Amino acid sequence: MLAALNIQNCDFSREVSAETLSRLNSLGTIKRYSTGENIFNQYDDGTSFHILLDGIVSITALRESGQSTIIDTVHKGHLFGLNSAILHRPYLVSAVADTDVVTLAIPFTNAQQMLTEHPELSLPMLRELATQTRILTNQIRQLKLQKGNERVAHYILSLSPSMTGSFVCDLNEPRRVIAQRLGMTPESLSRSIAALKAKGVIFERTSVRVKDAALLRSYCGLEVIQ
Amino acid sequence: MLAALNIQNCDFSREVSAETLSRLNSLGTIKRYSTGENIFNQYDDGTSFHILLDGIVSITALRESGQSTIIDTVHKGHLFGLNSAILHRPYLVSAVADTDVVTLAIPFTNAQQMLTEHPELSLPMLRELATQTRILTNQIRQLKLQKGNERVAHYILSLSPSMTGSFVCDLNEPRRVIAQRLGMTPESLSRSIAALKAKGVIFERTSVRVKDAALLRSYCGLEVIQ
DNA sequence: CGGGTCGTTGATACGCATCAATACATGTGG
DNA sequence: CCACATGTATTGATGCGTATCAACGACCCG
């Protein structure tokens, strides 16, 4: 039980010394959320960021009409809510617990003074933000330069370990979630799936089978980069 | 002339000591580009980031077919290419000089050792990245949750100093550029402009006149936040 | 003044959302 | 274990939103 709460289990903190970690731990508060619960809401004042100790969190944006979209999914060991906390601005997005979740919530004012005391902390934080920036940039590229079918192809390729030949990989998210991530309706995703059969992409219940990754890469019109 | 090259003119470095600044200066190289020139290209290896000392830079993404889109515009005093440099990954985007441009290009490996020597530097860098993250997140929200007309309305509101009543503000970018930023064609932008007349938005040559900002805010369906 | 770019407007076609109906899977209680 | 209810994925019919192609007007610059 305590093991789950130990922030040394995190990607983020792997490069940080044990001493700094325990200090960081003392600056924050352990929080628990159950599936479906909101961790913070769009437009709330952003004072704290979170280190995700356990579970999965969806970062979503909502329209006033109620329509929602998934911006990102955060996995164990990563940070979220960081940009708002650093700039002391309202959150642009909501964070929702996809599973039961444990986080360490740290007010950025506390972390700030730590940065001068423990400079080793700054690099991991920069890396986290840099990674987020890349994920978001990639998504904008896709939304602006690709059609729905191409985004689906791109998404499948991004799941694949290899970039050539054939491969099979698991779809760990339900179709509804994939559609929201890709900025389309579930119905459109279904049709894209049907259309991609012609390109040698076979969807099964919880996995995809791709005959020729190179063919798919050339189809989707945009390099697949991490 | 030398004044233009002095990085103390930068937003970024306003909060950094003179000593650190000159050190930073010595770690990098002053580079000059003329209008239209590429500063770096999508998929190039990202080793350096740039501090923009003078001019304006467009961050763009290209499809293999040649179609391009504008992801962001960088102004004097801000950083770009940071995420790739931090992670030693290929650039996801191209940087193009919109005007004649002067930058200080700094290999991140150099900056990295500086971060431990001069911890005061980490906070401004985190702020830069946090700001970028917000800009990108905002853009994704808009692309996924708003129609073209609404994005145009949102864009105009983001230019305005006040959030209520009427206002006039300058359009410093040509329409073609605005369209690319908003993820639409110039033709569609034209039609949106025409449609927004009904909402009390009057476009002139290089400015917009809005009768009722509150009305426009409720129209665009998404809060306008920095 | 004439050639070029830029912005607008119109006609058309395509992509995608929407609404509706059906099939399928999962889970629940009789 | 089956019957039924619930949620999830597919398929079809239709309409809206936006790209595309083409023509035209307005401005800028040589």
pLDDT > 90: percent of chain B: 70
DSSP state of B209: E
Is residue A220 pLDDT above 50, yes or no?
Answer: yes
Q: Tell me what pLDDT residue B174 has.
A: 93
- Cα–Cα dist A84/B20, whole Å: 27
Q: What is the reported pLDDT for A1?
A: 38
What's the pLDDT score for residue A5?
53
| Residues A9-32 pLDDT 10s | 667 767 777 777 788 888 899 999
Q: B122 to chain A nearest CA, in Å?
A: 6
| pLDDT at residue number A21 | 77
Q: What is the pLDDT of residue A182?
A: 96
Longest CA–CA span in chain B (Å) reads: 58
Q: pLDDT tens digits for B187-217?
A: 999 999 999 999 999 999 889 999 999 999 9
Q: How confident is the model at residue A111 (pLDDT cuts 50, 70, 90)?
A: confident
Protein-covered nucleotides of chain D (CB closer than 7 Å) are: 8-13, 17-22
Which of A30-39, B38-47, B161-170 has the lowest average pLDDT? Answer: B161-170
Tell me what pLDDT residue B4 has.
45
Which nucleotides along chain C are within 7 A of a protein C-beta? Answer: 6-11, 15-20
Average pLDDT over residues A168-187: 93
Stretch A62-89: mean pLDDT = 93
The answer to whether the C-beta of A173 is closer than 7 A to strand D is no
**Closest by alpha carbon to A219, among A134, A146, A140, A137?**
A146
Distances A172 to A93, A207, B150 between C-alpha atoms, Å: 23, 8, 34
Taking the C-alpha atoms of residue A4 and residue A53, their distance in angstroms, rounded to an integer, is: 7
Residue A181 has pLDDT above 90, yes or no: yes
Range ranked top by mean pLDDT from A16-30, A116-130, B102-116, B171-185: B171-185
Mean pLDDT of B75-94: 94
Tell me which residues from 167 to 226 on chain A have a beta carbon below 7 angstroms from nucleic acid strand C. 183-185, 187-188
Does the pLDDT at position B152 exceed 80? yes
Residues B84-110 have a mean pLDDT of: 94
The larger pLDDT score, comparing residue A2 to residue A211, is at: A211
> Could you tell me the pLDDT band of residue B155, with boundaries at 50, 70 and 90?
very high
Q: Which nucleotide is nearest to B187 (CA to C1')?
A: C8
Measure B35 CA to nearest chain A CA, in Å: 24
B13 confidence band (pLDDT: 50, 70, 90): low
Cβ-count burial A165-203 (b if 16+ within 10 Å, e if not):
eebeeebebeeebbbbbbbbeeeebeebbeebeebebeb
C-beta of residue B142 within 8 angstroms of C-beta of residue B134 = no
Q: Is the CB of B147 under 7 A from strand D?
A: yes
- In 3-state terms, what secondary structure has residue B99? coil
Q: Beta strands of chain A (E only): which ranges?
A: 29-33, 38-40, 48-54, 57-62, 68-74, 79-80, 94-97, 101-107, 167-170, 201-203, 207-210
Q: pLDDT-based confidence at B3, cuts 50/70/90? A: very low
Q: What's residue B205's pLDDT?
A: 87
pLDDT digits (tens, 9 = 90+) for A157-171: 999 877 788 899 999
Given a cut of 70, is residue A175 above it in pLDDT?
A: yes
pLDDT at A172: 86
Lowest average pLDDT, out of B20-24, B73-77, B176-180, B184-188, goes to B20-24
Q: Let me know if A111 is exposed, middle or buried by CB neighbors in 10 A (0-12, 13-18, 19+).
A: buried
Of all residues in chain A, the percent with pLDDT exceeding 90 is 67
CA–CA separation, A7 and A103 (whole Å): 9
Task: Please determine, for residue B49, whether its predicted confidence score (pLDDT) is greater than 80.
Answer: yes
Give the mean pLDDT of chain A.
89
Q: Among chain B residues 161 through 220, which have CB within 7 angstroms of nucleic chain C?
A: 174-176, 186-187, 189-191, 193-194, 203
Position A7 pLDDT exceeds 80 = no
Nearest CA in chain A to B129: A129
The residue-averaged pLDDT of B98-127 equals: 89
- The answer, yes or no, to whether residue A123 has pLDDT greater than 60, is yes
Query: What is the H or E stretch that residue B47 is in?
Result: none
Size of interface A-B (CB pairs under 8 A): 157
